[in-house]
Structures are given as structure tokens and as C-alpha cells.
Amino acid sequence: MSPDVPHDRASATGHDTPDSEAATRPHDDAEPAGRPRMTTLVALALSILVADLVTKIAAVEFIDPRDPVEIIGDTVTLTLVRNPGAAFSMATGMTWLLTLVAVAVVIGVIRMGRRLRSGWWALGLGLVLGSALGNLVDRLFRAPGFMQGHVVDFVSVGWWPVFNVADSSIVCGAILLVVLTLFGIEPNGTRYERDGKSGDAQKSETTQKSEAKQPGAETAE
């Protein structure tokens, strides 16, 4: 008389055991990896903001718009310019619209930062947020008026348009975010492969397949 085998009885009744349910339960493809990065993002953004404001105040105080300060001959100079447009003097006739765009960028980055887990994304978004805040302060509080303020630019390099700390920061941040996207690095810290699945999800699937191939409990003789 052979004893009852729990594994066989469960299969005969058509009910899955807890182990089989765990094996068939779907897993999230992109679970957050790492710790929250909101503090890193905000700290970097504030550092960029302070550096931008301090250099602009110094430029307005010590640079004569009619007398640029030569750093490397005529190639690199400190030239004070009031810019009503976007970074590098683009869209000069749309100051109020650029102000609204900057506000939207700040709100969007802060909302995204709440679920941020990647240090690299925190770096890129921190650069973008700090630059948006730096130029937004100018547009809100500098002449000729609220939301119409002209941004202070003072760094001139060759043929490149005159820029400031915020302008260079947003360019560096944008380039970094593009590179992260191209390499499949997600804001939540996971990395997506070419098949569209994260590395963590692929490991999970491999583990599930290996568990499914394990033999069931041996029947007692």
C-alpha cells in the first residue's frame, strides 16, 4: 500500500500549490533599484542656482557692457549682455512664453524626482532644474518687468553666443539625459536591454524557468 503523496494529490485536485503559484505569478518588469535621489537632485539644483546668481550679480557689478574683460585675447571674454530670449540668445521676442516654459520644467522635474532612483538621472535633472531656476529668477525679477525680465549673460567664447552658468548647465544636463536614454538607463535605476525588458526582469525570468524545471517530490516506494 503506497502512502499518499501531497504533491500528486494537489495535482489531482487541480489546485496549485503555493510554490507553483509563486512561479506563475507575474513580476514587475522594472522594479525600482537603489535609494531615492530627490535629496541629491535638489542639492545639485540649489548649488547651480547659487553659482548662477552669484556670478550674475558679480557680472552686473564689475563688468562694463562697453568694455569687455579679456581672458584669452579676443577669443574668451567677459561681456555683459541682457538677453530677453532663451539660452544662447534664442527666441528673443518670446520672454513671457519662455517664463511659462521654465515654470513647467521646474514642476515637471520636481514631480519626476519623487520617484527617482538613478544617481546619473539625478545628476542630469539636477543640472536642468538648477539652470531653469537660475534663468527663471532673472525673468521674474529683473528689468523691464515681471515675467519680462532680461537674463544676464556674460561669458563669450569665440563665435558662440554669450551665455551664463545656467545656460551651460542645461546643455550639460540635456546631453547627459540623452546619453542615459540611449543606453537604456531608466530614472528608477533599472537598465533596459534591446528586447525591452530590464536586467532585473530578465534575471527574474531566468530564475522562474530554472525553478520550473526542477523535478517534483519523489514518490515514496
Residues forming the active site: 153, 167
| CA nearest neighbour of 41 among 130, 135, 160 | 130
User: Of all helices (H) and strands (E), which one includes residue 153?
Assistant: strand 151-157
Distances in Å between the alpha carbon of 12 and those of 7, 21, 77, 79, 215? 9, 16, 84, 84, 17
Give the pairing type, strands 69-72 and 151-157: unpaired
- Run of H or E including 167: helix 165-182
State the burial class of residue 24 (Cβ atoms within 10 Å of its Cβ: 0-12, 13-18, 19+).
exposed
Residue 99, Cβ neighbours under 10 Å: how many? 19
User: Could you give the CA distance from residue 220 to residue 216 in angstroms, rounded to a whole number?
Assistant: 12
Beta strands across the sheet bearing 151-157: 69-72, 76-83, 151-157
Total number of residues shown for the chain: 221
d(CA 151, CA 188): 34
